[in-house]
Structure 1
C-alpha cells in the first residue's frame, strides 16, 4: 500500500466505523483493510469511540453551548507538537481528524462554537468564488505541523441536507476534511482538520456526497 492510499482510506475510517459509507465505498475500504495492518488498528480504536457515542444524548446539545476553556487550544496543540517530536504526529493527527468526523456524523448536528476562540493570528481568510444565491459563507485556513486547520461558517444551505468539506489539490483530487448537516437560515460554524499541508492545496470546497460539483469553492492561492 502507498502512503497516499493509506492517507485517503484513513479519512474514511470514521464513517466506516459508524456504517455510514455507501456500498461502493465500504467495499473499497474493506479491500484496503484486508491488506493494511495499520489501518485495521486505527479502525479498532475508532470503533471504540463509535460505541461510546451511542451513550450520547443529542437532546442535551443546546443552540448556545458553553465554549471550551481558553487553555484548551494551547494544551491540544502542545500535545500534538510533542507527538511529532516522537515521530508519531502523523498517526495522531489522522486519529483526531477521523474521530472528529465520527462525532459530527453520530450526533447528527454540528455543534455551534465561537470560531474566534480557535483562530490564531496566523489564520488566512479565503473568498468563495463559487457560491449560490441566498447562501452566505466565509472561511479561513491555517497551516499546521500535521496539515491544515479550516474554520467555516455557512448560512442558507437547505436544512437537513448533508454536505462534505474538502481540500482540492492542483491535480483536481480531493482530501476530505469532514461533513455537516445544514441548518437552513441558522448559521453553522465548524472547525475542521485535514492531513494535507496548505501548500499542497489549491482550493477549499463544499459539495454533496452524491454530486461532486462544488456548491462552495474558494481558491487558496492567488
Structure 2
C-alpha cells in the first residue's frame, strides 16, 4: 500500500510539539506541515497541552490527595458550637465538608487509575486482498472482550458510495460489522466492529453497493 503522509505526520505531531524529534524526522514533519492546513490545525490544537507539561511536577504525578487529618474534628467542633437557631446553616456546612471529602477521594482514585492504566489492546496486521483497481487498503485486527474491531485504512473508495463490512466465523457464518461512505482519493480510516469473538473470527469482506467484494481477508 502507498504510504499515507498525513498519517505519518500525525504520528509525529506530539513529539514535534515537545521538540523530541531528531533532525531528519523534524525536517520531514516541517515539510509536510508547510503544505497541509489540516495537520497544522491539529498541531495548533495540541501545542497548548505540550506547553502545559513544562509546569507538571513528575514527583507528584502519582500522589493521591487526601483531606487534612484534623478535618473531621474541626467539622464536629463547629457543629457542637452552633446554636439551635442556626441548624440549617450547620447542615449546609456539613454538606460542604462532605463534598470536599468526596472531591479529595475522587482525585485520589483518578490519580491511582492514571498510575495503573491498562496496556493498550493488542493489534494484528491481517492480509488484505483488494479486488478493485481504484482501491488501496490495509487492515489491523484488534481483539476485544466484546468482539473484534477491524481498523481499515485506505484510499480510492468511490466518493459517496456505501460500503458494507462483514466478518465470517469458522463455519462461514456472516456477522455484520458496519458500513461506511467512500471519500474518493482522500485517505480514510474506518473502525469496523462486530460482536464476533477473535477465536471464532476467520476473515472479513468489504462489499460495494452492488454486493461485489472490494476488499477481502482471511485470518
Which TM-score applies when normalising by structure 1? 0.43
Q: Specify the structure having the higher radius of gyration (Cα).
A: 2
Which TM-score applies when normalising by structure 2? 0.44
Q: Which protein has greater RCO, CA pairs closer than 8 Å, 6+ apart?
A: 1
